[in-house]
Structure 1
Amino acid sequence: MARFKINLRGGAFRSVFTFTADHWRRQPFRLALIVGAVLVATLADVLTPLYSGRLVDAIAQGAAGDVVAWNAAVAAFSTLIALAFGAVVFRHIAFMGIIALTLKMMSDIAADAFHRVQRFSTDWHANSFAGSTVRKVTRGLWALDLLNDTILVALLPSLVMLVGSTLLLGWYWPLMGLIVAVGSLVYIAVTVSLTLGYVAPAASLANSWDTRLGGALADAVSCNAVVKGFGAEDREDRRLAKIVDKWRLRTDRTWVRGTWSGTAQGVTLLVLRAAVVGFTLFLWSRGQASAGDVAFVLTAFFVLQGYLRDVGMHVRNVQRSVNDMEELVDIHDQPLGIVDRPGAKPIRIGAGRIDFENVTFHYGNHRLPLYRDFSVTIPAGERVGLVGHSGSGKTTFVKLIQRLYDLNAGRIVIDGQDIAEVTQSSLRSQIAIVQQEPILFHRSLAENIAYARPGATQAEIEAAAKLASAHDFIARLPKGYGTLVGERGVKLSGGERQRVAIARAFLADAPILILDEATSSLDSESEVLIQQAMERLMVGRTTLVIAHRLSTVRALDRLLVFDAGRIAEEGSHEALIRRDGGIYRRLFERQALELTRGLM
């Protein structure tokens, strides 16, 4: 725990404040305006007790008919009104400035976080809950709002008030200034040490469970169809209840620690109040302070006390903001994983020839490479099936072509261009892919189909849908192509989602096509239509088909049979099926036997 606290103080706070200061520097004029306005408004508060004391002295020195006393009272009163008016005006300027500053910062940070999350590696997304990621970003954004308010329009005025009041009181009574200065510093030290050393570690742990809670909620809600399918609502309730219990315990500990911290601050402030008021009475009893002086000291102290009391809350808010922002800052600090190299240019794919040249690749920290000195050529326009057991390297093969991972050695070349030297967006925009489990946006069907080519006309969208045998079912929907499909396309059947994804690939019209068993979710009638459409789509394109059902690859030009990251066999379906003891033949016979048993 001690080691955790040290990391929290030195690590999280430093990184969050550095992150925030970097964004402040992007708006220097607004920051200067806010600080200047806050300083002027706070100085008005510092001087208010002084003129309150002068007003009391003027009243105490003579009756209302005394011209000198009256003029002194009016002058003090006028100054008090002017100070109050100035404080209101400059605080308004500060608040308007911080609104603009904070909204610009939140917008920039949200855009940057989205930019980075979109470009994080495939592994990062596979290991992260979408709900947790969204919660980290949104919680961090609102924490930034609180942090800006606390530092710029709360803590800064408190510091100015403390210094100003101490100097002003010390000017009249040096010992009084010393008491206020020492007492205030002790109070601040107690507040900071309790907040950072006692409350913050508990708050950080509570936030981690808050993130897990958000992830668990998103996971269960997004998979609600599976929950309903297995009648598992009660089971999910119990699972979430365990996480909620942990979250409640961690949050309860944070809040209780915060309460004890607040009580300790209140006791410290009470001791300081007794010292100041007691010393003021001592000065009055010795004739060293007039009624106006007493009013000045008491007013100054109670104004200062209000600021000091708020210091505890402000420090707690800073601590809470840092805890809430640290996961957002972690997202900002994480490397993107796959990045375009300096000077990378767009790739121009024409024919679509693909060459793997002595490729070595392994995932993450895996010691043994999946591919070692792996080479293969796929001529332009060839239709190639990728076959093999699960984990043999088929899916990795197409992911490397899309540059979802960087190689450990060797290179992949398309039409003579090393894909590591070109921009990722240009590469992937010229590779159409239909996944085994298509993912759709919660947008209209037209938008989902046109995602491959945003500028496509309605006629082009409908033409692609017709080629994919999707137009008829879309036309029967009440809103047709304007129908929203639900999150991840849940409003559509599996076959309908697949046909929309295929229509998207038709519209992309890319020179390289990747099909991950694209007809696996279709009924028999649609499958025949799609197979015919796919034959047309493959013409003139380099096509890679990840085959799970071997019956779908018979008509392909060549089959690559993968085994533990190497190509164990290659050839046409007819050639491989005749190879005694071959991997492909065993796989094909096994599937044929399973199909025969299923029909019996």
Structure 2
Amino acid sequence: MTLSRKEPGRNPMAAVLGFTFDHWRSQGDLVSLIVIAVGVATVAEVVVPIYAGQMVDAVTAGLGSANEAWWALGAMLVLGAVAVGCRQLFFFAITILTTRMMSTVAREAFARVQRFSTDWHANNFAGSTVRRITRGMWALDMLNDTLLVAILPSILVLLGSTVVLATVWPTLGLVVFIGSIAFVAMTVVLSVNYVAPAARLANSWDTRVGGALADAVTCNAVVKAFGGETREDARLTAVLAKWRSRTNRTWMRGTNAGTAQNLFLLGLRAAVLGVVLWLWMRGQASVGDVALVLTSYAVVHGYLRDIGMHIHNLQRSVNDMEELVAFHDQPMGVKDRHDAMPAMITDGRIAFEHVTFHYGGHADALYRDFSVEIGAGEKIGLVGRSGSGKTTFVKLIQRLYDVNAGRISIDGQDIADVTQASLRSRIAIVQQEPILFHRSLAENIAYARPQASMAEIEHAARLANAHAFISALPKGYGTMVGERGVKLSGGERQRVALARAFLADAPVLILDEATSSLDSESEHLIQEAMERLMAGRTTIVIAHRLSTVQAMDRILVFDKGRIVEEGDHASLIRHPDGIYRGLFERQALELAKGWAA
């Protein structure tokens, strides 16, 4: 369930508060309980000064008014107990509310990020993305506390105290009311126009720090390989210097704003106390009345002093949540249609029918009126120079992008009409650089079919020639592979990826040259497993080394988004000026030079 949308033109404060209020509505019972509890506790606190004044008057009158003094004390104690009980209730309720909301917004943000386009993920640091989500999630905790536990009772106290004072002394009530409104207005202006812009910039550099850290830690093997530790230290130091400068400016602006607020409160205190002394001198206020005003203003002063901090906290929370809320405005990469049906793929016949496609931001189409058919069970090799359209071809089959015109069908079904999850579950992929989760080997293999039994996982590993090396590990299939599978060799990762594809048992198989950078023994094991995997499946192989596609039923040669040659190896090699023959001869020459060396 998506609960929030930021309307175009709304400022960050409106966007974040709208996002928060939408989530409050989904927890209406808890929010209502909190508001009632806060209201009752606040009213009890506002009324206490009235009885404090009555007690002072009773004590001043002498022992004859002892009962009135004791009654006032009893009332104050009862009101105090009510306030304590209500505070306990609303803290209990806000704890439940906040943890529910934090888990919900983190889950929603994660779900959206998972569904953003591959381009989005390519252009954003993983560490920065994680930082945006976690920072926004914890900012929600502060935002809820600020709005419900701090600002709401502050407003109620200010209104209630103003009413109490104005009932007896309209002039005094007017002074407190105007002073309070002016103070809040000044605080909001300082926060929004003075502190917030600096805080927003500081947060952007905080995000960059997270990205820089994640980038270097994730690529630590490369750092070590090139002795780049000092360079990475210097790179992070430069980012941290910018972060420190921006954060210092933000904190100093907060300090300056706080000083301005304290000076304003000093003036307001002088005005209120001056007015009450003037009323006492004129005989319009008793000693008890002076005690009432002093007690009431002490409460008002405390809340006004804190409300400045609360507004700063509110603005800080908004700044910290901006990037998380912005995820809800980011367009999804590819959306399922509202009436999308599960894909029914059994044979694996693939057809591109007059497809036109261009990447966002590119004026020229990569494919224009592009058509090709792949028969069920046919083994196809994709060949061509870098940027010719091979990788885009398989991405479109997976529907990682939507075509601009035409359609792509599998077994006669337009892939735009089926759910993405069901489509991709019927396509097994083995990438050139397989990515593994930092989970156990069993979990990584079973990712293709989570409900698979251990026996099925082991069978898939045997087919992929992976069972032997897995069994030799101390914890076997329970071995954790490290981030992105870093604990395994390249050949081992490839065999785990092949096992995953075997377990998927999908009718369509996509192989992105899986043996191009392996030793001969690993290459032999993987090539053997790949031949088993391709049997009976529609197979598309992206070839980086042409020796791997010589046995394909058909080879498609791409150039600038067009198929310029097609046929089997024997027929294509006979074209003296063909692109395929030129690529093949160049690779053969490079191989010969390598052997000679």
Same-fold call, TM > 0.5?
Answer: yes
- Is 1:131 aligned to residue 118 of structure 2? no
Q: 1:72 aligns with which of 65, 68, 72?
A: 68
Matches of residues 388-467 of structure 1 in structure 2 within 5 Å?
388-467=384-463
Partner residue in 2 for 1:42: 42
State the AA in 1 paired with 2:500.
R
Contact 2:357 2:366 in 1 (8 A): yes
User: Does the 8 A contact of 1:384 with 1:543 survive in 2?
Assistant: yes
- The answer to whether residue 361 in structure 2 is matched with residue 361 in structure 1 is no
Counterpart position of 2:18 = 18
Q: Distance in 1 between matches of 2:439 and 2:134?
A: 22
The answer to whether 1:311 aligns with 2:307 is: yes
Q: Give the C-alpha shift of residue 539 in structure 1.
A: 1.6
Partner SS for 2:51:
helix
Q: Matched residues in 2 for 1:398 and 1:84: separation?
A: 70
| 1:203–1:323 contact (8 Å) kept in structure 2 | yes
Instruction: Tell me the alpha carbon deviations over residues 225-264 of structure 1, each in whole angstroms, 9 at most, x when there is no partner.
Output: 1001100000000011110000000000000000000000
User: Shift of the alpha carbon at 1:534?
Assistant: 1.8
1:55 aligns with 55
Q: Unmatched 5+ residue regions in structure 2?
A: 1-6
1:483 alignment counterpart: 479
Q: Which residue of 2 aligns with 1:33?
A: 33
Stretch of structure 1 that moved more, 228-237 or 468-477: 468-477
1:248 aligns with 2:240: no
Corresponding residue SS for 1:335: coil
The residue that corresponds to 1:211 in the other structure is 207
Instruction: Say whether 1:519 aligns with 2:515.
Output: yes
Distance 1:470 1:93 in 2: 58
Q: Which amino acid counterpart does residue 13 of structure 1 have in structure 2?
A: M
Tell me if the contact between 1:498 and 1:521 (Cα under 8 Å) persists in the aligned partners. no
Q: Which residue of 1 aligns with 2:276?
A: 280
The answer to whether 1:182 aligns with 2:178 is yes
Unaligned segments of structure 1, at least 5 residues: 1-6
CA distance in 2, matches of 1:228, 1:385: 37
2:214 maps to 1:222: no
Counterpart of 1:376 in structure 2 is: 372
Find the aligned partners of 2:535 and 2:8 in 1 and give their Cα distance. 60
1:324 aligns with 2:320: yes
Maintained 8 Å contact 1:195/1:316: yes
The whole-number CA distance in structure 1 between the counterparts of 2:231 and 2:175 is 62
Distance in 2 separating the partners of 1:579 and 1:71: 115
Contact kept in structure 2, 1:432 and 1:512, CA below 8 Å: yes
- Tell me how far 1:189 sits from its aligned partner: 1.1
If the length of structure 1 is used for normalisation, what is the TM-score? 0.97
Quick one: distance in 2 between partners of 1:312 and 1:9?
27
Output one character per residue of 1:501-545: Cα deviation in whole Å (capped at 9) or x when no partner: 111111111000000002224321232232222222212110000
Query: What are the Cα deviations for residues 445-469 of structure 1, in whole angstroms up to 9, with x where unaligned?
Result: 0110111111112121112111211
Match of 2:3 in 1: none
| Structure 1 residue 196 displacement after superposition | 0.7
CA contact (8 A) 1:203 1:254 kept: yes
Deviations for 1:382-437, whole angstroms, at most 9, x for unmatched residues?
00000000000000000000000000000001000000000000000000000000
The root-mean-square deviation of aligned C-alpha atoms, in Å, is: 1.2
Classify the secondary structure of the residue corresponding to 2:510. strand
Matched residue, 2:4:
none
Cα distance in 2 for residues equivalent to 1:517 and 1:129: 26
Asked whether the equivalents of residues 382 and 390 of structure 2 are also in contact (C-alpha less than 8 Å), the reply is: yes
The ranges of structure 1 where at least 4 consecutive aligned residues each deviate by more than 3 angstroms after the TM superposition are: 7-10
> Paired residue for 2:539, among 538, 543, 546?
543
Flag the 1:8–1:358 CA change in 2: closer, same or farther, 3 A: closer
CA contact (8 A) 1:8 1:201 kept: no
> Which residue type is aligned with residue 170 of structure 1?
A
Distance in 1 of aligned mates of 2:163 and 2:195:
33
Q: Secondary structure at the match of 1:169?
A: helix
Determine the C-alpha separation between the residues in 2 that align with 1:523 and 1:10. 57
One-letter amino acid matched to 1:203: A
Aligned counterpart, 1:159: 155
Report Cα offsets for 1:328-353 as digits up to 9, x if no partner. 00012212120001110001111100
Deviations 1:269-323 (A, max 9, x none): 0000001111111111122111111110000001110000000000000000000
**Stretch of structure 1 that moved more, 372-381 or 188-197:** 188-197
- C-alpha contact (below 8 Å) 2:352/2:407 kept by paired residues: yes
TM-score of the superposition, structure 2-length normalised? 0.98
User: Letter of the aligned partner of 1:499 in structure 2?
Assistant: R
Shift of 1:10: 4.9
